[in-house]
Chains A and B, each alone.
Chain A
């Protein structure tokens, strides 16, 4: 309707209403009815404001669900943000999923992702996680990764920050993993895979490539990389109330992994790893003490060495947060984290934390001496089920570090 006609019509109605009423009492009912008749002439559906319209657009198209749900998206294709390794920079890619095939038993996924620092990930996975009423799980995976700017500072606890270099790490693996889940909280299983590796020239223009600073003597495996057959057994007890954002319970896992050097017979070793987490709620779960202890011990086979690129490292957003990623690296590692988390409101927790850990080469150093430490505070934007993103600010003897991450710390 044109505004002029609209205006004229409304005006006429108003004049008519007024003229009818002149000289006589207006009852409540008449007054209300007159108002309603006037509104009839000008009524029209409410318009959403821009923000609400945008939110409704997203809601009606189920965009959030389609981005997050495996198998959703466009014919199973959906974008993927992040998910590459630590230090890769902003990552993005595409993922294809088909889920609940073969009578709800089989899931399939393909991933291709890259990052601004030219990291790459290609992975295909066949997963049967719900066999025998979810008591048995089996999966097969083929993965290729290229990580051209991995930091390396040298081995041992005394490595120097000024020795920062970078190298290319590439691996391709083909493997299978399976196990049983006899109880809801217990998983026992084994895995085996074939691992092909390559170490090369780092591409970070800010730093010298590793091979120009270090040599194969002080950095085992720098010159040549074998193919590995990797075998593992593992056991995990998980009593956490929510794996993505636990507030009570614990997670206690142990694994033993053997790296068989199948080509050079020079770099075979065994690794025993434990990861213990405990969450102690108080004040009705609005406050939580979270504790984690992680250890890893590598034991080279007779006359063989542990290659530097497979040695455990410390530093970064998930362990020693006051230090750079991969800052310390050696055959053995101890690290613990203690966090006091408190709920600020339903969507945000804050945390005060302290980290302590060390890397070392031999059993004589298996003690709590010379621990590197860092401390700080963080913000955890979360739901009941998961931490959506977090900001951690940590300080150590090497300065202050800030992280924005889209995962929980442990």
Chain B
């Protein structure tokens, strides 16, 4: 992993920061004298072991309004052009408490994609015992225990848009799981209000935090607001209680002060920067801190923190309580330039998103692909990690997006159990089209070469623009070869060459027969983009140990 002492603890208190800077000096001291090598013996790492035992983590709270204000009107976190700090030398994100390479680690079957994070079948048949409720807002929610004693939180669809929010949450959670994030287990269920059992003497806290009796009438009143099926039953999405202790959301900048494992500033984590790409694809405009959760897992004193994404009700065409409105995804809640443009033009100036049309699918809400521009998509308010995203982050994420084949997307959409098959097909075709737009745009911002391997003295690679059909044929790539001093990082040119259009580049004999543990770098260039591929001689073969795109 590449780490940076200058950015790692940008918002930790001064005393801690100074201690850690000091620690860095000592830590790097022997390395600078003895082994300042660029590539270490364990590169590229595939696992970031960020699960050292943590004695105690205090539950933190984030205020919605404060989160909006600080992200909208202040520059939180560190903003500078800097490569992501938690990546390995291949530019990949190692598995950690934040992220587990799933689709990125290889092909996942459609069945596995649909299974997602789920490890069971959802609430067991029988009575659902209501143990809590959420009375705030237009759509209520319940906490229930099933007959096996497992706890779930139930959420519903707005009466105006049956199936919309629950299907969006179901489908999107599958995508985010497949991409590699930690998400809760989600299950779609149908139940009759009579299936809800209320224990004698049960109470819940209402919106004023007062403890009030939980009565059948109260429950009936709550469910009366939500969408019902034609047979009177109610469709809900049941999210299983995440194991561990909820210690509050994470922020998209800085690190968590009481979690020693959290050493990489969040605004410089690749999976949080690249999260922008996934959110734009799936229209997850509500991708903010309040929809994340850290859980302390493991026994007290021996556990560690695991980071989750939660609440996908405002994704795809759903705005949770209504069909998604026109602004979300196109403009932040507040943006100075369009605000003043509208103010001083007396509203005559109209953003182009106002005139976007959508088909009338209440079960889908509003999502489209024709107007969608991958680089213009916006979350509800600025996100420091998104704003730090560079072309390499985008490439990393885009490559994962493109790994979802048409049939994968179609299979995952079925997880939403949308009864209107025309609507479902529209959603599938929209996601495919958005996926292709994401790929066609972001692959052009950096060298699109990938799949590097050395076979029989040739460096082989593929052009993702060609692989995914955005270009018809591979460009002519020029290559330069250099020896690489792993201790100093110095390069010395040793020759040039050119790859054929099948993505094969013969390596010079001096590289193919290089001494054990010697390093070389191959730079492939086409148009304005280049990629460095670092090779290390190991047992007479060339092993790829590093990739850096320019």
Per-position 1/0 for A22-45, Cβ under 8 A of B? 111111110111111111111111
Considering only residues 175-190 of chain A, those with a C-beta below 8 Å from chain B are none
How far, in whole Å, are A329 and B240 apart by their CA atoms in the complex?
Answer: 65
A274 within 8 A of B: no
Per-position 1/0 for B1-14, Cβ under 8 A of A? 10100001000010
- Whether the pair A42, B16 counts as a contact (CB closer than 8 A) is yes
Q: A46-B258, A286-B354 are in contact. Are A344 and B27 (CB under 8 A)?
A: no
Per-position 1/0 for B328-341, Cβ under 8 A of A? 00000111001100
Q: A284-B354, A343-B347 are in contact. Are A24 and B34 (CB under 8 A)?
A: yes
In the complex, which of the residues A17, A38, A62, A340 contacts B20, with contact meaning CB atoms closer than 8 Å? A38
B29 within 8 A of A: yes
CB distance from A132 to the nearest CB of B (A): 16
Which chain A residue shows the least CB distance to B217?
A104
A398 within 8 A of B: no
B121 within 8 A of A: no
In the complex, which of the residues B20, B49, B58, B61 contacts A42, with contact meaning CB atoms closer than 8 Å? B20
How far, in whole Å, are A10 and B19 apart by their CA atoms in the complex?
Answer: 7
A350 within 8 A of B: yes
- Whether the pair A345, B339 counts as a contact (CB closer than 8 A) is yes
Which chain A residue shows the least CB distance to B347?
A342
Q: State which of A52-60, A110-118, A247-255 sits at the interface with chain B.
A: A52-60
Q: State which of B36-44, B167-175, B458-466 sits at the interface with chain A.
A: B36-44
Considering only residues 1-31 of chain A, those with a C-beta below 8 Å from chain B are 3, 7, 10-11, 13-15, 17-18, 21-29, 31
A237 within 8 A of B: no
- Whether the pair A17, B27 counts as a contact (CB closer than 8 A) is yes
How far, in whole Å, are A10 and B1 apart by their CA atoms in the complex?
Answer: 24
- Whether the pair B260, A39 counts as a contact (CB closer than 8 A) is yes
B48 within 8 A of A: yes
How far, in whole Å, are A32 and B49 apart by their CA atoms in the complex?
Answer: 8
CB distance from A386 to the nearest CB of B (A): 14
How far, in whole Å, are A42 and B339 apart by their CA atoms in the complex?
Answer: 44
* Number of residue pairs A-B, CB distance < 8 angstroms: 180
Which chain A residue shows the least CB distance to B326?
A284
A263 within 8 A of B: no
In the complex, which of the residues A10, A45, A59, A342 contacts B346, with contact meaning CB atoms closer than 8 Å? A342
- Whether the pair A29, B20 counts as a contact (CB closer than 8 A) is no
Considering only residues 495-513 of chain B, those with a C-beta below 8 Å from chain A are none
Q: State which of B63-71, B270-278, B435-443, B519-527 sits at the interface with chain A.
A: B63-71
- Whether the pair B27, A34 counts as a contact (CB closer than 8 A) is yes
B256 within 8 A of A: yes
- Whether the pair B40, A26 counts as a contact (CB closer than 8 A) is yes
Size band of the interface chain A makes with B: 35 or more
Q: A29-B45, A37-B52, A52-B66 are in contact. Are A14 and B23 (CB under 8 A)?
A: yes
B538 within 8 A of A: no
Inter-chain contacts of A51 with B (CB < 8 A):
66, 69-70
- Whether the pair A29, B30 counts as a contact (CB closer than 8 A) is no
Inter-chain contacts of B261 with A (CB < 8 A):
36
Max chain A C-beta neighbours (<10 A), residue from B3, B338, B354: B354
Q: A36-B50, A343-B347 are in contact. Are A26 and B20 (CB under 8 A)?
A: no
Inter-chain contacts of A286 with B (CB < 8 A):
326, 347, 350, 354
Inter-chain contacts of B57 with A (CB < 8 A):
45
- Whether the pair B208, A69 counts as a contact (CB closer than 8 A) is yes
How far, in whole Å, are A15 and B339 apart by their CA atoms in the complex?
Answer: 55
- Whether the pair B258, A44 counts as a contact (CB closer than 8 A) is yes
Inter-chain contacts of A347 with B (CB < 8 A):
333-334
CB distance from B436 to the nearest CB of A (A): 27
B22 within 8 A of A: yes
A346 within 8 A of B: yes
- Whether the pair A69, B30 counts as a contact (CB closer than 8 A) is no
Inter-chain contacts of B209 with A (CB < 8 A):
62
B229 within 8 A of A: no
- Whether the pair A31, B20 counts as a contact (CB closer than 8 A) is no
Q: A18-B27, A342-B346 are in contact. Are A66 and B45 (CB under 8 A)?
A: no
Q: A23-B34, A345-B334, A346-B333 are in contact. Are A32 and B48 (CB under 8 A)?
A: yes
How far, in whole Å, are A340 and B347 apart by their CA atoms in the complex?
Answer: 9
B132 within 8 A of A: no
Q: A38-B20, A104-B217, A350-B343 are in contact. Are A25 and B37 (CB under 8 A)?
A: yes
CB distance from B355 to the nearest CB of A (A): 8
How far, in whole Å, are A37 and B53 apart by their CA atoms in the complex?
Answer: 10
In the complex, which of the residues B22, B30, B263 contacts A26, with contact meaning CB atoms closer than 8 Å? B30
Which chain A residue shows the least CB distance to B210?
A72
Considering only residues 87-101 of chain A, those with a C-beta below 8 Å from chain B are none
CB distance from B485 to the nearest CB of A (A): 16
B327 within 8 A of A: yes
B422 within 8 A of A: no
- Whether the pair A32, B40 counts as a contact (CB closer than 8 A) is no
B299 within 8 A of A: no
Which chain B residue shows the least CB distance to A26?
B31
Q: A17-B23, A45-B58, A69-B208 are in contact. Are A33 and B52 (CB under 8 A)?
A: yes
Which chain A residue shows the least CB distance to B357?
A284
Inter-chain contacts of A18 with B (CB < 8 A):
26-27, 29-30
How far, in whole Å, are A33 and B69 apart by their CA atoms in the complex?
Answer: 35
- Whether the pair B260, A43 counts as a contact (CB closer than 8 A) is yes
Additional A-B contacts beyond A11-B22, A24-B35 (10; CB < 8 A):
A21-B30, A32-B1, A32-B263, A37-B52, A39-B260, A43-B258, A47-B13, A56-B61, A286-B347, A342-B347
A-B contacts, 29 of them at CB < 8 A, read A13-B23, A14-B19, A17-B26, A23-B34, A26-B35, A27-B41, A27-B42, A37-B52, A38-B27, A42-B15, A44-B258, A45-B57, A45-B58, A45-B257, A45-B258, A51-B69, A52-B63, A52-B70, A59-B61, A62-B207, A65-B208, A283-B354, A286-B326, A287-B347, A340-B347, A344-B347, A345-B335, A345-B342, A348-B339
List residues of chain B with CB under 8 Å of any chain A CB.
1, 3, 8, 13, 15-16, 19-20, 22-23, 26-27, 29-31, 34-35, 37, 40-43, 45, 48-50, 52, 54, 57-58, 60-66, 69-70, 88, 207-209, 217, 221, 254, 256-263, 326-327, 333-335, 338-339, 342-343, 346-347, 350, 354-355
List residues of chain A with CB under 8 Å of any chain B CB.
3, 7, 10-11, 13-15, 17-18, 21-29, 31-47, 51-52, 55-56, 59-60, 62, 65-66, 69, 72, 104, 283-284, 286-287, 340, 342-348, 350, 352
